[in-house]
Amino acid sequence: MEPTSSYSSTNKQETIVLLHGLWMYKLGLYPMAKRLRSYGYHVICFGYPSVRKYPKEIVETLHQKVIHLENETIHFVGHSLGGLLIQHFFETYPDQKPGRVIALGSPFASSKAAHRVYTLPLGRHILGKCAGEKLLLEPRAPWHFKQELGVISGTRSADLGKIIAQLSLPNDGTVTVEETKQEGMTEHCLLEINHNGLLFSPLVVPFIDRFLQTGRFKEQ
């Protein structure tokens, strides 16, 4: 753990689009958005019905929001399922403005915990339509876009994974570190935080800022 200071100018005209994960709501993005705004970013909290809508519907709505943003630099930060949806967005709409992408605890290699839920009697309904398109259940294709991808993984085991799945170490309680690794990523950072903490902990924000400004989580 290293970054504590801001790399951003308060006059910088850069936008960050935040996406939450499964079973979460737009409101859950507000604490991180507030912290990122203090670094000088214009922040958009993109909420979506993570169970009721198919990924293709979600990314279409995201596209309609993004095309109206005026800033020349647009970054994306997604927590868990949100990171997978960002990749799906770029696969569907690859012609985007310059920027960088950060995934927080996103299971690019598929999720053992999600597989376990999927096998339960009401598992498909619990995971919703994103599971119907296997977004959490199958590995994603390698990252091949011009935007650099940074991945932050948690190593404090807690939450869902301890209850329903025996996850290999290290893990954040819901997703293992191995599950977050994505071929083509630029940087990978480990923080001693659990899965939900990747979204809510103030310790994460300086790392986000540094990567968005430099393409690195730590000074080389």
Please, which residues bridge with residue 103 across strands? Answer: 78, 151
124 found inside a domain: yes
80 found inside a domain: yes
What pLDDT does 1 receive?
Answer: 60
What pLDDT does 26 receive?
Answer: 97
1 found inside a domain: no
Bigger pLDDT: 150 or 220?
150
85 found inside a domain: yes
Q: Is residue 188 helix, strand or coil? A: strand
pLDDT single digits (tens) 82-113: 999 999 999 999 999 999 999 999 999 999 99
Q: What percent of the chain has pLDDT over 70?
A: 89
What pLDDT does 11 receive?
Answer: 46
What pLDDT does 174 receive?
Answer: 93
What pLDDT does 132 receive?
Answer: 65
219 found inside a domain: no
Q: What CATH number does residue 23 fall under?
A: 3.40.50.1820
Rounded CA-CA distance 196/78 in Å is: 12
148 found inside a domain: yes
Of 45, 16, 47, 46, which Cα lies nearest the Cα of 30? 45
- Which residues constitute the domain of residue 109? 14-214
pLDDT single digits (tens) 12-71: 689 999 999 999 999 999 999 999 999 999 999 999 999 999 999 999 999 999 999 988
Q: How many domains does the chain have?
A: 1
